Amino acid sequence: MKILRIIMVSVLVSLAGFQFEEPLQAAAIDNGSFMSLWNTYSQCQASSDFAQLKENALTLTNAANGSLTEEGFVLPLPNKLEEFVSAPAARFAVDVKAMAAACSLRAGFAAVEAGKLDVARDLLRPILSYQPQSEYSYYSLQAKSLLSELDPSVVEVALNLR
């Protein structure tokens, strides 16, 4: 009987070890991807090379768009309970969307200085979709300002009287 208990305990301990192994690996991957994004943002802030700025801005924008989607979250629940559960928010130490907007603005200004106006428009237009959210209003206003200088018909102006 004592040997049976020892076998049961060892099986349970080894199963528990297998359960804890996967979340630790996932945490390491998340930390690595965050550090990669932070390095990309730091390069964007330090660089003056237009090609590097453009590449950094696109990388951060893709990461921000990916962090906002909820496709990766699957929780197996009965249909009646699924409507009461929302997908968890992506959590980073900083706002990836704000990093992407700041880098895109920097790259947009560099594109204008390099005379690549079409590239500047392509880099700045995604920032305009951030406008409804007040925490991104600075980036949105900066993008609108630069876009209106490039092409006044691109930016819609609305007057809200309350």
* Domain locations in the chain as residue ranges: 2-150
| CA distances to 68, 78, 81, 86 from 74, in Å | 15, 12, 13, 10
What is the reported pLDDT for 74?
A: 54
The pLDDT tens digits of the residues spanning 23-78 come to 433 333 355 577 888 899 999 999 988 899 999 999 999 888 776 544 445 556 56
What is the reported pLDDT for 81?
A: 66
CA quadruple 48, 110, 136, 32: dihedral positive or negative? Answer: negative
User: From CA 86, how far away is CA 60, in angstroms rounded?
Assistant: 25
Mean pLDDT of 82-90: 63
What is the reported pLDDT for 46?
A: 93
Dihedral angle at the C-alpha atoms of 7, 21, 89, 136, nearest 10 degrees?
160
Cβ density class 112-150: b for 16+ within 10 Å, e for less: beeebeebbbbbbebbeebeeeeebeebbebbbebbeeb
What is the reported pLDDT for 42?
A: 93
Contact present, 137 and 127 (Cβ < 8 Å): no
Percent of the chain residues topping a pLDDT of 90: 25
Q: What is the average pLDDT value for the chain, to the nearest integer?
A: 75
CA angle 89, 92, 98 (to 5 degrees): 95
Using only C-alpha atoms, the chain has a radius of gyration, in whole angstroms, of 23
Confidence (pTM): 0.62
Q: Which residue has the tokens 């559960």?
A: 85
The pLDDT tens digits of the residues spanning 10-38 come to 766 665 554 444 443 333 335 557 788 88
State the first-to-last Cα distance of the chain, in angstroms, to the nearest integer: 80
Coil vs helix vs strand at 83? coil
